Chain A
Amino acid sequence: MPEIVIKTKQLTKKFGDFTAADSITFEVYKGEIFGFLGANGAGKTTAMRMLCGLSRPSSGEATIAGFDVYTETEKIKRNIGYMSQKFSLYEDLTILENIRFFGGIYGLSDREIEEKSQHLIGLLGLGNETKKLVGALPLGWKQKLAFSVAILHDPKIVFLDEPTGGVDPVTRRQFWDLIYEAADRGITVFVTTHYMDEAEYCNRLSMMVDGEIKALDTPSNLKKQFGVASMDEVFYELARGAKRTAD
């Protein structure tokens, strides 16, 4: 039995009488790439924000890396990385300055930061661009850099909120190579998306409709279960019944 790093039970978030996330229960294993799918407004981001400690659940239980989301948010913060929907580096800082800043606020030592930034720049092939402002880079590179910065402190889990919005499938594929590499190092990846080609890359998927998890399995099992040939069709089958429209 693999180690469980995320465990939720009946996790619910209400805003007034609107239930954004309704009794979510699931487990994520160490080193897994866990996809969190759903249409816009299905509650993906709300669920993820609860797991990161950005938003307090209304009811239910959850532990992240063994820590409770209600009482141990500080410990959770040290063990997770996060990349938000909006591209989240400082555009008026250079690549190196961004790496140093985020390394710095996670409390890495100067030597660690130096080693990691050299490694990272080599890995991304940014050797000649380190003095460039991040704002001048193409979006695909920014996203790759943002992901690398999010796992700079070697977190147990990294949360990616629609990380590849607005880039072409080839760049997306390259981005996923980075995700695979991180997963190989034992980092658990929790990713929300609504691109179905990305869904195929995940080890396991959960499908959210109207704030509830309607399906949870490997991509191939899901296709079998719904008797269809592609994830697209699985998604349509499930999302067709949605009452909420995009927010």
Chain B
Amino acid sequence: MKQFFTFVKKEFYHVFRDPKTLLMLFGLPVVQIVLFGFALTNEIKNSKVLIVDYAKDAASQEIITKIGATDEFVLQHQILSHLQIEDEFKTGRARLAIIFPANFQRDLLHQNSTQLQVIADASDPNQANTLTNYINTIVTEYQQSLSEVNGMPYQIRPEIRMLYNPELKGATNFVPGVMALVLMLVCVLMTSVSIVREKELGTMEVLLVSPFNPFMVIIAKAIPYFLLSLVNLSVILVLSITLLEMPFNGSYLLFFAESSLLILTALSLGLLISNSTDSQQTAMLISLMGMLIPTMLLTGFMFPIENMPLPLRVFSNIIPSKWYYLIAKSIMIKGLGFSAIWKETLILLGMTVFLLTVSLKKFKIRLA
């Protein structure tokens, strides 16, 4: 046992003395969270909106003020005619315009119903959709407040309710994805490179000639990365809860247990890669190319898998992070317990056992 701890200690020296490893371990998650949280977000902030107000009455003014008061919109300027809208769109100065007809408030008060036109630049359909949804919400809120004051049923209230993500926060969607990505990347890359490095430097031979059990070499190598990954996970979690105001509704224990399972899957995969190559560069290339791209594309947090062609949908089933993403979302956002995710857990467990068996078998052959 003492031999084992000697080895684990040595592995920690390797990690903490290599700036590149440290950067990878602790820089990557922070960069990912910041990048996805602030730069690549689906949320739209400070979008410029054009107002064409033919009514110029109290109702239209109030709605305009409400729109201007949100984070999402900046009132670009009020233009006089709707004919100018397209010019503004073409130059890209604005992506959304709202037109109040001349009798806006009068229609509302007398006919209990009125119209307003929202025009969006739909060259980016996702963005247009999000923006019109925001406007919809604001208008609905206004109607509601009006009815409360007068007690008159002015309009049917289109009740929009976003399940699980009422504010349409991007964080809920991508944080579990980023976690899966970081865990996969860090664990697979780090383990494969650290084992292959021993082969490349010739120290593996020395270890194999020593009485130290070769399987213990593997386990001792995995332990530091396992622990550091858990630290990493906590960093991401804290960052996203504090910085991105991400909700966490489920059990932390269950979440960390499931995450440990994914880390094990990743470590086994790293082991498999390290058994198939003798150079650090190849190991790195396989880990990056083989892991990064499929994980990014087929986990489901960037592009919905349901919309993909059948072959890709089928292929996505062998990506471990896809299952982890489903698990993490269920726990974090929906607050579900183990009974809801046992199937995904079983699949992940199966993958881990398979990968571990194959790689340990391969490892044994190399000793003969």
Contact = CB atoms under 8 A, between A and B. Distances in A.
B368 A84 contact: no
B210 interface: yes
B211 A107 contact: yes
Contacts of B205: 54, 82, 84, 86, 88
A104 B8 CA distance: 11
Interface string A192-231: 0000000000000000000000000000000000000000
Interface string A87-101: 111111100010011
A74 B367 CA distance: 13
A52 B204 CA distance: 13
B206 A106 contact: no
A191 interface: no
Given A92-B14, A101-B10, A80 B209 contact: yes
A55 B367 CA distance: 7
Contacts of B210: 77, 82, 102, 105-106
Contacts of B201: 86, 88, 90-91
Given A54-B208, A105-B210, A93 B202 contact: no
B13 interface: yes
B2 A104 contact: yes
A56 interface: yes
A86 B198 CA distance: 11
A101 B211 contact: no
B202 A87 contact: yes
Interface string B240-258: 0000000000000000000
Contact of A82 (B3, B6, B18, B209): B209
A41 interface: no
A92 B17 contact: yes
Given A77-B211, A86-B202, A105 B17 contact: no
Nearest to B14: A92
A133 B202 CA distance: 18
Interface in B184-220: 201-203, 205-212
Contacts of A88: 201-203, 205-206
A131 interface: no
B313 to A, nearest CB: 43
Given A84-B202, A106-B210, A92 B6 contact: no
Max chain B C-beta neighbours (<10 A), residue from A83, A87, A92: A92
Contacts of A87: 202
B134 interface: no
B7 interface: yes
User: For the side of the interface on A, what is the size category?
Assistant: 20 to 34
A104 B206 contact: no
Contacts of A91: 201
B208 A90 contact: no
A74 B212 CA distance: 9
A85 B202 contact: yes
Contacts of B2: 104, 107
A184 B157 CA distance: 98
B13 A93 contact: yes
A63 to B, nearest CB: 17
B6 A100 contact: yes
Nearest to B18: A92
Contact of A105 (B7, B13, B18, B367): B7
Nearest to B7: A105
A90 B203 contact: yes
Contacts of B10: 90, 93, 97, 101
Interface string A24-43: 00000000000000000000
A78 to B, nearest CB: 5
Contact of B212 (A80, A85, A105, A159): A105
Nearest to A101: B10
Nearest to A150: B206
Contact of A77 (B7, B13, B14, B209): B209
Max chain B C-beta neighbours (<10 A), residue from A53, A56, A82, A91: A82
Task: Return the 5 tightest CB-CB contacts between A and B, nearest first.
Answer: A86-B202, A104-B6, A82-B209, A105-B212, A77-B211
23 contacts: A53-B209, A54-B367, A56-B368, A74-B211, A77-B210, A78-B211, A82-B209, A82-B210, A85-B202, A88-B206, A90-B10, A90-B13, A90-B201, A92-B17, A100-B6, A101-B7, A101-B9, A102-B206, A104-B6, A104-B7, A106-B211, A107-B2, A107-B3
Interface of A: 52-56, 74, 77-78, 80, 82-93, 97, 100-102, 104-107, 133, 150, 159
Given A86-B205, A90-B14, 18 more contacts: A54-B205, A54-B209, A56-B368, A74-B211, A82-B206, A82-B209, A88-B206, A89-B203, A90-B13, A90-B203, A93-B10, A93-B13, A93-B17, A97-B10, A102-B206, A105-B3, A105-B6, A107-B2
